[in-house]
Amino acid sequence: MTRGPGAGAGRSPAAHAGDTTRSRAGDKPGTRAGDKPGSRESDNPGIQAGDKPGSPESDKPGARAGDKPGSRESDKPGARAGDKPGSRSGGKPGSRGGAARSPRAGQRAPARGGRGRGSGGAARRRVGPARLVAFEVVRAVRERDAYANLLLPALLHEQGLTGRDAALATELSYGTLRGQGTYDAVIAACSARGLGQIDPPVLDVLRLGAHQLLATRVGAHAAVATSVDLAREVAGPGPAGFVNAVLRRVASRDLESWIAATAPDRAADPVGHLALRYSHPAWIVAAFAASLGEDAATGLGRTEAVLAASAGRPRVTLCAVPGLASQEELVAAGAGPARWSPFGAYLEVGDPAAVGAVGQGRAAVQDEASQLAALALTRVDVGAPDRRWLDLCAGPGGKARLLSGLAAGGGARLLAADVRLHRARLVRAAVTGEAGVVVADGTAPAWRPASFDRVIADVPCSGLGALRRRPEARWRKSPADVARLAGLQRRLLATALDAARTGGAVAYVTCSPHLDETRGVVGDVLRGRGDVTVLDAPAVLAEVPGLRCPGPDGRYAQFWPDRHGTDAIFLALLQRHPGG
């Protein structure tokens, strides 16, 4: 079991619950309509649900490491699994694929080859493969903006890591990335050098070591010794003494003591205090507080609960495709029934792909809030006819899969659109029955206005509601990302409303609680129209408690990880009516 800012409940994030069982490069905020960023897709199930980091034999100092990630052909400069589209193909100076870097002051030059190959084979043998894989993930995220949820499963497969070794690599990778803000503050307090003066690969090693010392059950001696060995392996013998000294200081206190020593005073700066305690950028803490209707005077109690939940790991939730599978079948396969979704089931242990219905494409991994947002649209009374449904931004197909099954069962047909061909192909593979799939720009539709009875606009967003799934995302996002998507979100909602007939229903959905992506978008679009009614979304999902947004926005629904155990998905239900 783990603890600390990057820890969850001790369960390795096998396949993180999301819209589909796949995650892909390319799901990042862009400027093209219909292209959702880093959306709720599940993380690749490299580890089975329920695996816990332990102390595999290879993690003991002196144990043979086996093959190390540094021996791969894929470590040569070039695109790799997990790289963000458009990232640099070559390594940066100091990386294995880049030019050699001069040693910093006080550091000896690394051995020839830049990876400690001249320091003797003993150090290389003492580094376990799980730690080498974790270092590769952390380094790639920093150097190439790689997606951890894509790169880690590829490395685990490549290195043949399973069971406890794979669970340890997963815990070290995701836990270090989640807790980076807290660990950096601790490392800065333990080092005479500023963080900017520490060689980046050495800083990666220190972050991994700090996570082991402060948030796992790995013993202090093993955590320090293996980190020193790892530093020799990836940066040469020079930094080993520095790493040893810093981590020994880190080991002198527990996490709570370090937070007390390094975080701003909670009374004087509650946002800054929570940002360091729960390892989130301060602007995200402030955004969560604003969405919850809290400020410093309220004590930010709910905000803290959301941050704590966001620092954990998501539950693996399955979704049966209506007409092809059922909740009962998933339960019979070993899952537990979901609390609210009639199609959902929670998988506590095991590989989702090993569930028969998932392996056969009759069920998939999908967050429960994502399921409920789609279900809510189908509950709105639109009268007759009710035959044509539209998913305006369908890629990669999670909600489209569920809606296509529901549509087919009620005599309707879903049309799913996405602006990118490769995402449209993923949607085509996901949907069932007579559903149609087109490549189309949601802001310049290929259909006539007022053609659909039900429309869902699951728009591109910052993804702040799914930070549990992409541990590095919190450090990549900025307020500029939210601002950059504002125009696109408004255009897509306007198009969705135009696509609905009089009496038709529209669901506006984001995986972000940020006001500028949720209530702000809906309010801005509706101010220019006189033909739309805001429906009571929490009443439509009456079985789910605590969905109402605060204040005058109570007709909107907001899911929260602390309250619902789901992603922080926002839902507005709108209905067209005759008007000017």
Contact 167, 52 (CB under 8 A): yes
DSSP letters along 425-452, please? Answer: HHHHHH--TT-EEEE--TTS-SS-TT-E
The tokens of 356 are what? Answer: 């028969």
**SS3 assignment for 458-511:** ECCCCCHHHCCCCCCHHHHCCHHHHHHHHHHHHHHHHHHHHHEEEEEEEEEEEC
How far is Cα 230 from Cα 210, in angstroms, rounded to an integer? 13
Looking at residue 44, what DSSP letter applies? P
Asked whether the CA dihedral 352, 356, 362, 368 is positive or negative, the reply is negative
- Given the DSSP bridges, would you call strands 388-391 and 413-418 parallel, antiparallel or unpaired? parallel
Helix (H) or strand (E) holding 392: none
Check if the beta carbon of residue 479 is closer than 8 Å to that of residue 412: no
Token duo for residue 567: 């992603």
Query: Which residues have CB under 8 Å from 116's CB, separation 6+?
Result: 110, 123, 124, 232, 233, 234, 235, 236, 237
106 CB contacts (<8 Å, ≥6 apart)?
Answer: 242
Q: Are 569 and 509 in contact, with CB atoms under 8 Å apart? A: yes
Which residues are the active-site residues? 511
Q: Are 340 and 370 in contact (CB under 8 A)?
A: no
Other CB atoms within a 10 A radius of the CB of residue 85 amount to: 12
Q: How far apart are CA 47 and CA 163, in angstroms?
A: 7
Query: Rounded distance, CA 257 to CA 260, Å?
Result: 5
Q: Encode 405-433: b = buried (16+ Cβ within 10 Å), e = exposed.
A: bbbbeeebebbbbbbbeebbbbbbebbbb
CB 548 within 8 A of CB 538: yes
- What whole-number distance in Å separates Cα of residue 41 and Cα of residue 21? 7
Beta bridge partners of residue 506, listed in sequence order = 455, 574
- Please report how the helices 220-235 and 240-250 are oriented relative to each other, as an axis angle in degrees rounded to 10: 150
